[in-house]
Amino acid sequence: MKVVICVLSMTCIASFASYFLKKSSNTDNKIKILLSPWFYLGGILYVISAGINIVLLQLIPYTVAMPVGALTYVWTMFVSNRLLHETITKRKIIGMFVIFAGAVCVALGQ
């Protein structure tokens, strides 16, 4: 159960970290990006996600932890749709299921 909690929290936090970095990049001005609180929130969330990843690497093999980390892309699809109003196409849904199926296969095959 600890592994599942680590995987879900790591991947969800990383997904939101990407969202906040995207939110901070709404300008061409590099100084404004560096002064944006969203930039720092995204960075902090990435560090938290990396910390959880370290715990996960202590619990499961590297060859499982890294592919399962690809679930971040699945959650990113939902975050980008809900918060950035990006379109989810049929091709993206198929890709999402392939990533999910691959992560499950790797996790169950250990």
Q: 3-class SS at 61?
A: coil
**In angstroms, what CA-CA distances link 80 with 10, 11, 20, 50, 100?**
17, 14, 11, 21, 17
Task: Provide, rounded to the nearest whole percent, the portion of the chain with pLDDT above 90.
Answer: 87
- Round the average pLDDT of the chain to a whole number and report it: 94
- Please say if the pLDDT value at position 108 is more than 80: yes
pTM over 0.85: yes
* Domain positions in the chain: 2-108
- Please say if the pLDDT value at position 110 is more than 80: no
Alpha helices in the chain (DSSP H): 2-24, 30-35, 37-59, 62-68, 71-84, 90-108
What pLDDT digit, counting tens, does each position of 2-34 carry? Answer: 999 999 999 999 999 999 999 999 888 999 999
